[in-house]
Amino acid sequence: MLAKKIAFITLILLSACTSRPAVSTSSEPPSGMWSGDYALDGDRREPIRVDLRWEGANLTGLVYAGPRSLPLTKASFKPETRAISIEFDAEGNGGRIVHYLIDGKVSGDVMTGTWTHDDQHGDFRVKKR
């Protein structure tokens, strides 16, 4: 009897040690600070941060790229698919306004996706801090 109890306790302890924490699949919006990088061209990657806030029924925030902080002009999040879309404007060469379109997906504490503006495009990967 004692041997069975010891075997059972050992089995529980081993399963607890080898189990992995569950990845969040919450339908909550991806509020918070995210940091990572994005590709400009090929292998060249640049750091980026995104601060997202859920305010009422709206997703708002800022994109931090280098010394610039760029407010989001449009943002949406679909809890059922974990898809996120973000738009913002930045000043380009010669003072012209460049409109960025971001499409991504949130998986736990990681967000990945693509960005485009004009004829340029690339990818991004950020992690929630």
pTM for this entry: 0.76
pLDDT tens per residue across span 8-22: 333 333 333 333 333
Query: How far does CA 105 lie from the centroid of its chain?
Result: 7
Residue at 103 is within a domain: yes
Tell me the CATH number at 45. 2.40.128.120
Residue at 6 is within a domain: no
Residue at 65 is within a domain: yes
Taking residues 40-47, report their average pLDDT.
Answer: 83
Residue at 7 is within a domain: no
pLDDT tens per residue across span 54-79: 887 789 999 999 899 999 999 999 98
CB neighbour burial string for 4-32, b if at least 16 within 10 angstroms, e if fewer: eeeeeeeeeeeeeeeeeeeeeeeeebbbe
Please report, rounded to a whole number, the percentage of residues in the chain having pLDDT higher than 90.
64
Total domains present in the chain = 1
By residue range, what is the domain housing residue 48? Answer: 24-128
Residue at 33 is within a domain: yes
Residue at 37 is within a domain: yes
